[in-house]
Chains A and B, each alone.
Chain A
């Protein structure tokens, strides 16, 4: 990134900002009651929830800020936010 010229960066360079370090609460996907509705993936503002297979989702903790939207939207209350101690 050219900081000397207005923070001009190559496309896709936002990946360098590992926003997972901002997180205070961590989503835990229990994967017990999951019905596979996919709301967690759709609502994640960071786009870091991925479907591995039907009724199986995972979070990329490198970028997850811990906003809790996935837990709030989960139709089966299968995602739990826990305090993350670092």
Chain B
């Protein structure tokens, strides 16, 4: 297996290419652009035999992948931020029609004020849409996750769309050594897409038909039930991937030095890398610190998180999104994991890195310092004191 020094976006595009998509449709938007730009090159050069549909908006891009997926095509799209918000109506439809579309949500802040830099507010806003959401830690994982995503989505017991979330710029525009997946390897891992139902004139069907009060609730019940069933599938697919490729970046979660830790930081996405460095640094000084990565955010792996953290005294949840009017989103879900359990650790939530604010080693050190003294609450870390009146 060869390692290539490559930009994150290009690695993702190449992986999507070897997944043999039939239809790709996207609208360019920073910082997602390089992914779809490179895919359109691969299609134009004849390296990827797909239909690349240029559209006038993200709403149309999502609609194109919806329609083509319903005909039994393997489909892919990518977007970020404002484009993502424009897609949301269709995203609910894709999940509701049980179409196994795969998309990349490059994570970027949401307007206003306009800001093109990274946080995770966009995808977090669509957490209830019925899409499986996986968050990538680094470019190797982001690339590998796309191959896994199609296998999860197209599992006949799942048939739900999968969204790979990768941090804008931090990952998409960074050059890293990545082991790329060859066509032969991808073909071995991912079987051709053969849906049970698809649109064809030979057997006319209706997708997303009207369902009144007598049946709508049941459709939501089935998606919820399938989400729970997908926990096992996501985990199995990660294991299959490990067996074939020798790489394992976690199934539903991943842990680093958590087993004997008294303080564990919980996070999603590229920030995990920074935290691992701090963990090593503090471990060298004898502090029992670890980090837990939430890889699958939807479905939310409550049991796995509880199992991994039940012995821990303190938890600090760091997140790049906020539910305005409530506080941290992930922190409250981590808190709910411990509801009704015999022992509840001290859980602190920290909001940081919004709109591309740098998350440095100092930021993480500050989080750890605050955790030691503060009671459980949601705090903004890394605010510019001069801009908020010195308070």
Contacts and interface: CB of A to CB of B under 8 A. Distances in A.
A9 B211 CA distance: 11
Interface residues of B, number: 20
B283 to A, nearest CB: 48
Contact of A5 (B197, B206, B210, B212): B197
Interface stretch (B13-21, B95-103, B231-239): B95-103
A42 B222 CA distance: 40
Contacts of B210: 14, 17
A7 interface: yes
B204 interface: yes
B386 interface: no
Contact of B219 (A3, A10, A11, A14): A3
Given A6-B97, A11-B206, A13-B206, A1 B197 contact: no
Interface in B167-219: 196-197, 204-212, 215, 218-219
Contact of A8 (B206, B212, B215): B206
B159 interface: yes
A14 B159 contact: no
A45 to B, nearest CB: 14
Interface residues of A, number: 15
A22 to B, nearest CB: 9
Contacts, number: 57
Contact of A6 (B98, B204, B212): B98
Interface string A45-76: 00000000000000000000000000000000
A6 B206 contact: no
A5 to B, nearest CB: 5
A4 B197 CA distance: 13
B209 A1 contact: yes
Contacts of B215: 1, 3, 7
A25 B130 CA distance: 38
A2 interface: yes
Interface string A1-43: 1111111111111100100000000000000000000000000
A11 B205 contact: yes
Contacts of A13: 206, 209
A10 B206 CA distance: 6
A1 B211 contact: yes
Interface of B: 96-99, 159, 196-197, 204-212, 215, 218-219, 222
9 contacts: A1-B211, A3-B215, A5-B159, A6-B97, A7-B208, A7-B209, A10-B204, A13-B209, A14-B209
Which 4 pairs of residues, A with B, have the shortest CB-CB distance? A11-B204, A6-B98, A6-B97, A4-B222
